[in-house]
Structure formats: structure tokens, C-alpha cells
Amino acid sequence: MEFDCLFVSSCESELHLCLDSDDDDGSLQTAIAEWHSACDIEITFSLTTPVVTSLTATYNDDFCSAAGSACASEADLISQCSLSHTTLGAQFSSCYCQPELLSLQYTCEYLLNTSCFGEPAALTDIPAYNFCDNAASVLGSAGPTNSVSRS
């Protein structure tokens, strides 16, 4: 028990950073209080707890859920394009390169990675960016304005 309780106390800052959230603070504080309740009568020296690091980013559950839904919509549209146009001709390009699908790919492949998973991403990571002639004009350098809102 001592190791677990000490671990929780000493890693609170790291858990905040790892989870990009302080949602579990209640459980952490409960674990720390239980440790003190069990151990304070046995320990005769002062314990020091590291200062909790403040978050540099926060996880937006609503945005990440909406971005995940964008991935499902993206997959559906890509499937429709593939089923309707079995060769990589002009008709497939017209379907695959439509602004709605480009926007969904931006949300799913770029925003989801950077905002929800904390992973680096670039516009060139979006599959359609290198395939569609209109991708740069639709997405621009910062992405579309009609993708899922992060606010």
C-alpha cells in the first residue's frame, strides 16, 4: 500500500500531463488522503510532495467525440466513392475530392491527431491532400473553417 500511495502522490503532475486533464483529481486526492490516514501515525518525519504542474493543454471531450464522428462520416463517403466508381478516373476524383470529404479528412486525420491524441500532423498527411488538385485551395494552409469547431 505504501508504494502505491507514494506513487500516486509523486506522479500527480505527470498524470495531469499524460491525460491532458485534471478530471481524476478527486480520485487522486482520495488516494492521497487514504495514504495519510493510514501512514501519518507511523511516519515521524516530514514528507514533501512535488508541486503539481499546471496543464499546458486540455482535452476537449465534446470536440474529440465530434471529430471521431467525422471519421465515421469520412469512412462512409470514401466507401460510397469506392463502390460507385471502381476505377481511379475523373468520376472517382470528383467524388473523393469533394470539399465535404476533404473537410472531414482534415478533421479526422489532422485535428483529431493534434487536438485529441497529441500527435504531430501535417496537411500532407491527409490522404486526399496529395491526390486531389483542389485540396490546397479547399484546405488552405491552416485547414477549412467549416470543420468541427474546437470551442
Same domain, 26 and 72: no
Same domain, 20 and 48: yes
pLDDT at 149: 39
Domain with 100, as residue range(s), is: 61-139
Which of 59, 76, 95 delimits the end of a domain? Answer: 59
Q: Is residue 149 part of a domain?
A: no
State the Cα–Cα distance between residues 8 and 35, nearest whole angstrom.
10
Q: Closest Cα partner for 32 from 9, 51, 54? A: 9
Please determine, for residue 148, whether its predicted confidence score (pLDDT) is greater than 50: no
Residue pLDDT, tens place only, 8-44:
445 555 555 555 565 656 677 777 778 778 777 777 7
Q: How many domains, the chain? A: 2
pTM of the model: 0.56
pLDDT at 2: 39
Q: For 3-12, 24-33, 130-139, which range has the lowest pLDDT when averaged over its residues? A: 3-12
**pLDDT band with cut points at 50, 70 and 90 for residue 55:** low
Same domain, 133 and 72: yes
Which of 39, 59, 79 delimits the end of a domain? Answer: 59
Q: Is residue 145 part of a domain?
A: no
Q: Once rounded to an integer, what is the mean pLDDT over residues 117-136?
A: 87
Three-class DSSP category at 55: coil
Which of 31, 59, 87 delimits the end of a domain? Answer: 59
DSSP 85-145: --SSSHHHHHHHT-HHHHHHHIIIIIIIIIIIS-----GGGSHHHHH-TTHHHHHTTT--S
Please determine, for residue 71, whether its predicted confidence score (pLDDT) is greater than 80: yes
Q: Is residue 4 part of a domain?
A: yes
pLDDT at 72: 93
Q: Which residues contact residue 118 at a Cβ distance below 8 angstroms, ignoring those fewer than 6 apart?
A: 20, 57
Same domain, 16 and 45: yes
pLDDT at 53: 62
Cell of 86: 471502381
**pLDDT band with cut points at 50, 70 and 90 for residue 49:** low
Q: Is residue 39 part of a domain?
A: yes
Q: For 2-6, 64-68, 81-85, which range has the lowest pLDDT when averaged over its residues? A: 2-6
pLDDT at 20: 57
